[in-house]
Amino acid sequence: MANAEANKITRQRLSALLATAQGAKSALLVTHNDPDPDALGAAVGLGALLERRLGADITIAYRGFVGRAENRAMVQELGIKLVPFCLADCRRYDLIALLDTQPGAGNQPLDDYCWPRLVIDHHPLRPETGHVRFADVRPDGSSTSAIVTNYLRASRLKIEPNVATALFYGIKSDTLGLSRETDEEDTRAYVYLQRHLDREALASIESAAVPRDYFGALDAALHRTYTLDGLVVSRLGAMRYPDMAAEMADFLRRLEHVRIIVAVGHYRDEVIVSLRSPEQGTKLDELVQSVVRSDGSAGGHGYMAAGRVPADLSGTAEATEDEMVRRFTEALGVQDYRREPLLPPEQNRT
């Protein structure tokens, strides 16, 4: 799409968004559970827009946990104020917005009593979103932060460095630095934000310090990682935080000759699976949905996806992890006897 045409469409959508939010003096912005940088960046960006254009008070709420060191650093370095969703009383807000997910999806906390008026997302469109006053859902777009960035640009507001950095890191982490499935709009947003960054904060986020036991957890996970044809399976067992599975899957993506990475572990009462693929054209979202079935919730994109099921699905959490791995190998038609450990067995571990 030509730039002029894309800009015109963004301006029209921005007018519709502001018309829908008109008069709101307090807005509750809700991310998906265990929010990632894209969800957080989108919430910060939409918050800046509503605050500056409507004078609304902004509350950003989420359910779950921000665990990954980079994501915690993002919250801290950029001064993002977050409230646990259970403490936010929906009735007290004039406007509710849902970001980087949609109503009815298994990874978000809203229900019929707390229904969003705005939804911005880049996952496949859900039927429930048809009942939302303003929805901008672009399954082809690679990040929600890019969609929000282009609204901010169209509004001609000056973008503050912390807002620009949140959006930039959101786009960067959801697209692996624009390396995959990005569209023109993402690229334009990314280039635009680069001029407004707080570079020092960005560097602190990307090189966030981790505690000593992080390396112990990594070591244990690597010793429970094996390959099976082009599949890599990493068994994490009890995880320190829920997004550890995503972190491990990201880490293993660089292993050569790999088509699909599956990291599986449990946190509290759920078994969490996280999938990645370095190849173009894989449909991991469909794969994970076919494996999780109706036992839990699952979704994502072709190149990164995740799912969760109750930890007691097969009795113990370990048995449920086994069952998930069994379903993946079955769905992919790989032979379990060809399993090779990533690391050689340890003989003289001191």
The smaller minimum CB distance to Mn ion, of residues 65 and 214, is found at 65
The smaller minimum CB distance to Mn ion, of residues 24 and 49, is found at 49
* Piece in contact with Mn ion (CB under 5 A), picked from 77-85, 98-106, 187-195, 242-250: 98-106
The smaller minimum CB distance to Mn ion, of residues 231 and 288, is found at 288
The smaller minimum CB distance to Mn ion, of residues 38 and 181, is found at 38
Considering the rule CB under 5 A, would residue 38 count as an interface residue with Mn ion?
Answer: yes
* Piece in contact with Mn ion (CB under 5 A), picked from 43-51, 95-103, 187-195, 312-320: 95-103
Minimum separation from the CB atom of position 320 to Mn ion (A): 27
Q: Where are the beta strands (DSSP E) in 117-220?
A: 118-121, 134-137
In 3D space, the residue among 248, 350, 266, 261 whose CA is nearest the CA of residue 309 turns out to be 266
Minimum separation from the CB atom of position 44 to Mn ion (A): 14
Residue 146: strand, helix, or coil: helix
Q: Among 34, 100, 198, 285, which residue interacts with Mn ion (rule: CB under 5 A)?
A: 100
* Piece in contact with Mn ion (CB under 5 A), picked from 4-12, 125-133, 143-151, 250-258: 143-151
What is the torsional sign of CA 131, 135, 138, 142? negative
Euclidean distance between CA atoms 126 and 102, whole angstroms: 7
Minimum separation from the CB atom of position 89 to Mn ion (A): 27
The smaller minimum CB distance to Mn ion, of residues 35 and 265, is found at 35
Q: Environment class of residue 140 by beta-carbon count within 10 Å: exposed (0-12), middle (13-18) or buried (19+)?
A: exposed
Residue 94: strand, helix, or coil: coil
* Piece in contact with Mn ion (CB under 5 A), picked from 70-78, 94-102, 161-169, 327-335: 94-102
Q: Which residue has the tokens 């496949």?
A: 124
- Which strands sit side by side in the sheet containing 134-137, from one edge to the other? 82-84, 57-62, 26-31, 95-99, 118-121, 134-137
Q: Give the distance, in angstroms, between the CA of residue 217 and the centroid of all CA atoms in the same chain.
A: 22
Query: Contacts with Mn ion: how many residues (CB under 5 A)?
Result: 4
**How many Cα atoms are found within 13 Å in the side-chain-facing hemisphere of 122?**
24
The smaller minimum CB distance to Mn ion, of residues 144 and 162, is found at 144
Minimum separation from the CB atom of position 144 to Mn ion (A): 5
Considering the rule CB under 5 A, would residue 121 count as an interface residue with Mn ion?
Answer: no
Query: Residues for the chain: how many in total?
Result: 350
Euclidean distance between CA atoms 16 and 145, whole angstroms: 18
Footprint of Mn ion on 249-308 (CB under 5 A):
none
Minimum separation from the CB atom of position 174 to Mn ion (A): 5
For the beta carbon of residue 304, count every other beta carbon within 10 angstroms. Answer: 24
The smaller minimum CB distance to Mn ion, of residues 38 and 186, is found at 38
**Parallel, antiparallel or unpaired: strands 225-228 and 340-341:** antiparallel
The smaller minimum CB distance to Mn ion, of residues 41 and 265, is found at 41
Euclidean distance between CA atoms 308 and 300, whole angstroms: 12
* Piece in contact with Mn ion (CB under 5 A), picked from 4-12, 14-22, 125-133, 136-144: 136-144
Considering the rule CB under 5 A, would residue 34 count as an interface residue with Mn ion?
Answer: no
Name the region of 170 (left: φ>0; alpha: ψ -120 to 50; beta: rest): alpha
Cβ neighbours for 86, distance < 8 A, ≥ 6 positions apart:
63
The smaller minimum CB distance to Mn ion, of residues 144 and 150, is found at 144
Q: Among 70, 136, 174, 250, which residue interacts with Mn ion (rule: CB under 5 A)?
A: 174
The smaller minimum CB distance to Mn ion, of residues 61 and 228, is found at 61
The residue nearest Mn ion at its CB is: 38
Catalog residues that contact Mn ion under the rule CB under 5 A: 38, 100, 144, 174
